[in-house]
Chain A
Amino acid sequence: MAVETSGRGPNPPRTKRCELIPLLQQAQKEEGFLSPSAIRRISRRLAVTENEIYGVATFYTQFRFRPPGRYNIKVCLGTACHVGGGQNFMDVMKTDKHIDHGETTTDGKFSLERVACLGCCALAPVVVVNDEVHGRMNRVTFMQLLETLDPSPEAALPAETEESPE
């Protein structure tokens, strides 16, 4: 296929460059985040500089650069969830678990993400734990949910992901 540019400055052949986002998504699916080695690998494969790849990856909220916690909690802050009090769940995470958007607890158990809208507005407010959707939540049921995930300090749960750094 012919080598072309998109009119946005010199780009590598389009057949390669358009694989960038799918490759980043694949890497994140495998590792849970975009590690420096994954970026390096993609950079070589597509002949796009690592700088450029970071430039693209940081633009999109889907990509994270640190490993998520064992329970990745996504708090939906779409309109219906906002009106229904979704912000409360962010507050609970801040006061109880001491983490904010994009952060992971020091024990690697919880990570927190704020998302714009998950399209489950009829169930608002919504919280997603790993891939499970919990609808019609309130502050109290959310705290109960956290309790079931992390019942006591010595909760013996199988480690599914690596511990977070630091």
Chain B
Amino acid sequence: MRHDAVEGKTKVLVCEGTGCVSSKSPEIRQAIQSAVRGKGLDGRVEVGLTGCHGFCEKGPIVVVEPEGLFYCRVKPEDAKDIAASLVDGAEPVKRLFYRHPVSKETVPYYRDIMFYKKQNRVILRNCGIINPEVIEDYEAQGGYEALRRVVGKMSPEDIVAEIRKAGLRGRGGAGFPAAVKWDVCRRQPGGEKFVICNADEGDPGAFMDRSILEADPHSVIEGLIILGYAVGARRGFIYCRAEYPLAVRRVRMALDQARRKNYLGEGILGAGFDFKVEVFEGAGAFVCGEETALIASIEGSRGMPRSRPPFPAEKGLWGKPTVINNVKTLASVPPIITRGAEWFSSIGTASSKGTAVFALTGKIANSGLVEVPMGAPLSTIIYEIGGGIPNKKNFKAVQTGGPSGGCLPAIQLELPIDFDSLQAAGSMMGSGGLVVMDEDTCIVDVARFFLSFTQSESCGKCVPCRVGTRHMVALLEKITTGKGTEEDLVKLENLALMVKQSSLCGLGQTAPNPVLTALRYFRGEFIAHVVDKRCPAAVCRDLVTFRIIPDRCTGCRQCVKVCPTGAITGPRSQPHSLDQSKCIKCRSCYEICRFDAVAGEAIIIVS
């Protein structure tokens, strides 16, 4: 499956996803290129780029094929050594090998890294492998083969039947069966229809859709064309967040290439099927991930949802039947066609087929994109793929599904992850964010964070969401500042249930989930805030104090320099003292002590 060496050529592939680009990977690629030329190796070494490998934590990543050497945290200065290692008989650059964060073992090869070994990449099949800017690379991996098998050869009914047989459920969050939407739209009487790829990935903590569009845009485009063919649409949109400029650029580039190859345009592949796709850049409103709000936004209005039915598959964009699918749903379509529905439905659980992609982040050793079969337990993702919690801290909770999901505690670690089991645990799949939290994270603070997010993103159309979330934030702020009472917890819970039951769209209906799960699994922590007026994780500013431990303080005066209020005083080489009445708890001293000071960790936060 990997890039095979053509005629004995060595390939040096530099990752150019957003993460690696921010750590100067284009500069690294140029440096390697000129170093390779300097060594006179340009005849047999090709330097290219790939999209996101999903291991952004270790970026910038450079892969050397055909050996499959995996270099991480590469810097432009390393280019010379990489070029030197490509000379016959030379050793690889060992210092750039990946080191397992816990066992400290070095792993030279891509295929041996635990982070990848335990994954099953269906949706991310080409990510990090092909050059996303070259359509031939996608074709070489079997790309557009599905489209060839479909256009003019399969009837729309058969395609929908295949998707139904595969058991494909929408990857946008709720897991609605894709074939149902497709079929409703297909059955609508003639005329104009539309298909839309929802790439408005607004969930904080999720970046799967961005990575896929950056690393393998053609797989999504191919899925969208097949969808258009299956429902009888001639026009499609890719609604992508404007916050993802690189993804937008790569998609536009891919569309041009697909048009040139007649995968798009008129009379596609010689059959009488016309289809065109436009990119629509979202303007930064979380609620536009909701399908009716997304439609309003394309129409040029405020992105507010409306009540359903009628569903967009019956009356959508400009009142016409419209199917809206998530990026990952569409990227799953081509392999279902080429490898068959049986193959797809053999992966996963009884009710959730296929794989799930997660953006694993937070307090975790290996953060990045993870694709596992549905039903894999959380512990596999966190400990085997993610490498566990760094800095010898203890696991506290994992937040799934972003602001629509919930915080699950350690007792839920064996929970098989699929649409239904997560929902039963009070959380949801959401678009796939998976944020790990350790003992230093305050659950009440996290709940307040999510609620203030949904509150500010609430479009304001319906009262429960507009007013309810505001009051919930107010209650949570009362609790995190130590002014809450036990009665507030009851009020908060009742209000959360009310908002959940009576809001118009998915945003309001799921907004209370972070609070409800926090109350369900971490009630003790709420009690600590309201009864004992303490924050056990020492996060909530009003409930903590900063202390200098005299035995550890070497008197380096770093903290004295950064303290904005002059609360810390003391002569050089003598333990400093901190005047609590002046301290504004800005954390400057705490952080400089950890990163720059001579002793380190002489300042602690206690509650």
Interface residues of A (CB under 8 A from B): 4-8, 11, 14, 17-22, 24-25, 48, 55-56, 59-63, 77-83, 85, 88, 91, 95, 115-124, 131-135, 138-141, 143
A–B Cβ pairs within 8 angstroms, 6 of them: A18-B298, A88-B587, A116-B284, A117-B206, A122-B56, A140-B562
Residues of B within 8 A of A25 (CB): 242, 281, 283
Interface-lining segment among B137-145, B260-268, B360-368, B526-534: B360-368
> Known interface pairs A88-B587, A91-B586, A117-B204. Does A82 touch B22 (Cβ–Cβ under 8 Å)?
no
**Looking across the interface, which residue of chain A has its beta carbon closest to that of B209?**
A119
**Looking across the interface, which residue of chain B has its beta carbon closest to that of A118?**
B243
B399 contacts partner chain A, Cβ-Cβ < 8 Å:
yes
CA distance in complex: A123, B210 (Å): 15
> Known interface pairs A62-B242, A133-B18. Does A56 touch B300 (Cβ–Cβ under 8 Å)?
yes
CA distance in complex: A125, B324 (Å): 32
Among B205, B244, B315, B596, contact of A78 (Cβ-Cβ < 8 Å): B205
> Known interface pairs A83-B441, A140-B562. Does A19 touch B300 (Cβ–Cβ under 8 Å)?
yes
Docked-complex contact B286 and A79, CB < 8 angstroms: no
Number of residues from B at the complex interface, CB < 8 A:
68
Residues of A within 8 A of B453 (CB): 116
Residues of B within 8 A of A132 (CB): 22
> Known interface pairs A6-B319, A117-B206, A118-B243. Does A21 touch B297 (Cβ–Cβ under 8 Å)?
yes
Q: For chain B residues 584-606, which have a beta carbon within 8 Å of chain A?
A: 586-588, 591-592, 595-596
Docked-complex contact A56 and B301, CB < 8 angstroms: yes
**Looking across the interface, which residue of chain B has its beta carbon closest to that of A121?**
B361
CA distance in complex: A62, B286 (Å): 11
Q: For chain B residues 354-377, which have a beta carbon within 8 Å of chain A?
A: 359, 361-363, 367-368
CB distance from A123 to the nearest CB of B (A): 6
User: What is the 8 Å Cβ interface bit string for chain B, positions 120-140, against chain A (1 contact, 0 not)?
Assistant: 000000000000000000000
CA distance in complex: A120, B19 (Å): 6
User: What is the 8 Å Cβ interface bit string for chain B, positions 313-339, against chain A (1 contact, 0 not)?
Assistant: 001001100000000000000000000
B482 contacts partner chain A, Cβ-Cβ < 8 Å:
no
Residues of B within 8 A of A78 (CB): 204-205
> Known interface pairs A123-B19, A133-B22. Does A79 touch B300 (Cβ–Cβ under 8 Å)?
no
Q: For chain B residues 170-220, which have a beta carbon within 8 Å of chain A?
A: 201-207, 210-211
CB distance from B132 to the nearest CB of A (A): 16
> Known interface pairs A8-B296, A21-B300, A140-B595. Does A116 touch B18 (Cβ–Cβ under 8 Å)?
no
Chain B CB count within 10 A is highest, among A7, A59, A115, A124, for A59
Q: For chain B residues 445-498, which have a beta carbon within 8 Å of chain A?
A: 446, 449-450, 453, 457, 459
Residues of B within 8 A of A21 (CB): 280-281, 283, 297, 300
Chain A CB count within 10 A is highest, among B300, B319, B367, B441, for B300
B420 contacts partner chain A, Cβ-Cβ < 8 Å:
no
**Looking across the interface, which residue of chain B has its beta carbon closest to that of A138?**
B591
Docked-complex contact B592 and A140, CB < 8 angstroms: yes
B285 contacts partner chain A, Cβ-Cβ < 8 Å:
yes
**Looking across the interface, which residue of chain A has its beta carbon closest to that of B399?**
A79
Residues of B within 8 A of A123 (CB): 19, 22-23, 56-57, 59
CA distance in complex: A25, B201 (Å): 19
